A and B are shown apart, each in its own frame.
Chain A
């Protein structure tokens, strides 16, 4: 007759538990190793991708920064151009005004002097002119009618006394000429078509 033996059952259960526990342990170990291998394979790829993205971003950022800096420089230069335009207009106005007023006064001074007679006009390096009457004053010379004839004395040849040069604003270094040169420099005449 079959006799139930508790100790045998206990041993069987214990054995089964051990076998199941062992299987679970090995299964868990396998899964962990599998995960470890997976991570070990993924990580280098991710690092490489991160490196590439970092490099790409750095290049793009550098290009953007360079572009922004250039745009800023362009804005600065455009603002500077506006200031230079203003400065040009201001100088043009001032030079034009002074040049025009000088021209009027010089023309008047020269016109008023026509007909004036100088009893003895002392000249540098040549005999004086007697009763020299001013006939004509141009930008570079004065023509005198005197006792011995007509003399056209030029600034360039240093034939005129310096006080005449200054008084009638004559010669290449005259104030009027220098102002006109400045006008030409600041707003040159357009080239002929």
Chain B
């Protein structure tokens, strides 16, 4: 066995580790770039705070809309029943 052949397993191990190191470095770089795109690490707390405020507004809006929707639908249904009766009453009167 030559000296090069004796180094080969070590060199292969090193090459494999270097590939793994490079992959991890690339992954870290990509994650850091993605984190920066989303506003940076400090954005998490800000987003949570903003989401909480939006959630409160949405809950209030949904509640109000649902309530109004039910109310208008009931009124519309009653009006749909009343209109023909009113029209019939009006048309039954002498001109």
Contact = CB atoms under 8 A, between A and B. Distances in A.
A binds B: yes
Interface of A: 21, 25, 28-29, 32-33, 35-36, 39-40, 42-43, 46-47, 49-50, 53-54, 56-57, 59-61, 63-64, 66-67, 70-71, 73-74, 77-78, 80-81, 84, 87-88, 91, 94-95, 98, 101-102, 105, 108-109, 169, 175, 178-179, 182, 185-186
B33 to A, nearest CB: 10
A175 B85 CA distance: 7
A178 B51 CA distance: 44
Interface of B: 3, 6-7, 10-11, 13-14, 17-18, 20-21, 24-25, 27-28, 31-32, 34-35, 38-39, 41, 43-44, 47-48, 50-51, 54-55, 57-58, 61-62, 64-65, 68-69, 71-72, 75-76, 78-79, 82-83, 85-86, 89-90, 93
28 contacts: A29-B6, A36-B17, A39-B17, A42-B21, A43-B20, A53-B27, A56-B44, A57-B31, A63-B44, A63-B48, A64-B38, A67-B50, A70-B51, A77-B58, A77-B62, A81-B64, A84-B69, A94-B79, A94-B83, A101-B90, A102-B90, A105-B90, A105-B93, A175-B85, A175-B86, A179-B86, A182-B78, A182-B82
B93 to A, nearest CB: 6
Contacts, number: 147
Nearest to B89: A175
Given A43-B20, A46-B25, A66-B51, 20 more contacts: A50-B24, A54-B31, A57-B38, A61-B34, A63-B47, A63-B51, A64-B38, A67-B47, A70-B51, A70-B55, A74-B61, A81-B64, A84-B72, A87-B72, A95-B75, A102-B90, A105-B90, A108-B93, A179-B86, A182-B79
A88 B82 CA distance: 17
Nearest to A46: B24
